[in-house]
Chains A and B, each alone.
Chain A
């Protein structure tokens, strides 16, 4: 086995061939450390790494690196997220160094939602570099020990590099090529957008496998259990790039009063079962939005516990 790129728990789990299971935790809209720890504790030991979002949906929250460190101190491996919306290349590179120096080992590189979606729509956006370039920057700093300007990094930051992929955005045919491009740029693992349209995802994965992408990069399928019909409708209508089939909304509606959430979890469990067998899928990324306390139960029922110790 070749040397590990960063040596994070997530990398080791994937490298050992286990079916990975990652979770997500949004930092508080304030300095509420206690609440962050509480949310993190629901995920402790239940997932291999926890994504810590970076001003998700362009809403101001505690900085992702700080929240990541707090989780790390409490024995939870973070997957530090960084978006290109809020930082120029100087801040990006210095935060990469800072985050690594403080012990973070996974980093997910994203463009970030446009600020018009968030709570500061008046703000300027940066997008000095894009997510593809961010992936390449982290890889170049890690593998070549060079900054973007070509000068030397004094002790290179070794991150296990993550990227996102949305198989449901358009143009559909281009999506798999964009994934390939991210892998070429340096992505070690990929977490997909929440999947609801299984037919489309199967087709996407078939194409990815045909191109051999699953052999170059670990692909984790994104799952978000639906809590309510309202959430399904919101996801389908308001969230860009989300594909919620009518059949799923119908199924949730049919579950009857008080049973919709359970039906949502059942659908998620069915998905996870299928992903375990699906060629090219290396794990599941469970984004239980403001539902962290449900994750242990979902993990248990999905049969992914206990998590491997590597």
Chain B
């Protein structure tokens, strides 16, 4: 399973996580190339279906990277996102798929290092789980 390269979709808040991404880029910290970044104005607008669709298309993992709870410009964006991630975790569990394949991370705008760490952690987690079985 060593050659397994998980396909991961990351939904990133354009205010915090994406700036962190920029910082990380400046720091020449490489993001794993198997992560597809989707920038959103606020994680609070990510619908449950958005989080499910990647799995339908063959993704092995999905995560949301958003603000710290006290720094969301739209007050409760990340809180809402976290609840939807929880909902999708429950759905995945019901479908017999490991709920760890989806997660939510909170970070501040300047933390480039953290952004890369989170990405690597998610890759490791999903690698550990292996691909979503397709019978």
- A and B touching (C-beta < 8 Å)? no
